[in-house]
Amino acid sequence: MSPAVFSAVRSRPLATTATALTGLLAAGLLLALPGHGAPASRPVTTDEAARLALSRLTSYEASPVLVDITVPSDGTRTLVHGLVDFRAHHAVGSYTTDGVGGPGLLAWDGNGVGVAPGKQPADPGPAALALTADQMPPQAWSPRAYTTDRLDTALRLTMAVAADRPDNAELLAQSGARWLRDEQLDGHRYGVFSGPLPRDAAAGQSHLVYWVDQDGNLRRLELRGADSGPPTTIDLTERHVDARVPAAPWGG
């Protein structure tokens, strides 16, 4: 992706609203779903709403972070291993797709994505990933605007999970955020919450499900589709990573 293209992209920052979750409603990334066989749930308590509201700020403060994104689609699965800088609103990652095509690199921000097919870092670590992306010539990137497919939705959502301030906890509670259960991941305990519902939604369950610990740290985000298939999963696997998302391909 050429520096000029990304310079133009960078000049159009991701739109913000009173809360990011409300912003996701406006972006069409958060919709109501019927049932989905969900376990018994309840409205969030005041403390739980505050914890969920804090998760965007803690993600921002933990930047850069490593993410693993799993996107199922039509019997295949795309895996993205990425390094995200929420302060710069830039991310790079390597991708593979089960049984379809070869691997490659992605670079994305709030407004678009660049693809470099056939390129992979020498090892999966964040330093090698950043170095490989940094050494790519601008013409190796193919830029495009986001589409509505599941991978692009996941990339956009990844850029929207962090902000330099917490969300409005009272608004989250009033908008239908719910506690679903407690669960352990990698030996740590998390509260599992469904996000708020659109204002005009019928009774149903949010597309978005969050795993948030007692300190407000987001560990996992699931995006459920309108069918009963497996969800798209975004895992924040490492925080305060000692690596830098490169200036390339954005330039500057």
Q: What is the pLDDT of residue 225?
A: 74
Given a contact cutoff of 8 angstroms between Cβ atoms, the answer to whether 136 and 105 are in contact is yes
Average pLDDT of span 205-214: 88
Segment 92-107, tens digit of pLDDT = 999 999 877 789 999 9
Asked whether the predicted pLDDT for residue 172 surpasses 90, the reply is yes
Give 49-104 pLDDT, tens digit per residue: 999 999 999 999 999 999 999 999 888 999 999 999 999 999 999 999 987 778 99
Q: φ, ψ for residue 115 (rounded to 5)?
A: -120, 135
Q: Is the per-residue pLDDT at 205 higher than 60?
A: no
CATH code, 3-238: 2.50.20
The DSSP symbol for 213 reads -
Q: Is the pLDDT of residue 12 over 70?
A: no
Q: What is the pLDDT of residue 32?
A: 37
The full set of domain ranges for the chain reads: 3-238
Asked whether the beta carbons of 16 and 169 are under 8 A apart, the reply is no
Judge whether residue 200 has pLDDT over 90. no
Query: Could you give the CA distance from residue 144 to residue 135 in angstroms, rounded to a whole number?
Result: 20
CA-to-CA separations, 227 to 15, 34, 35, in angstroms, rounded: 29, 10, 11
pLDDT of residue 39: 57
Tokens in use for 178?
Answer: 């719910």
Please give the pLDDT value at position 250: 73
Closest CA to 9 of 192, 159, 188, 117: 159
Is the model's pLDDT at 35 over the cut of 60?
Answer: no
DSSP annotation of 157 = H
* 243 pLDDT higher than 50: yes
pLDDT one-digit tens code per residue, 105-161: 999 998 899 999 998 898 889 999 999 999 988 889 999 999 999 999 999 999 999
Residue 2 has pLDDT above 50, yes or no: no
pLDDT tops 90 at residue 228: no
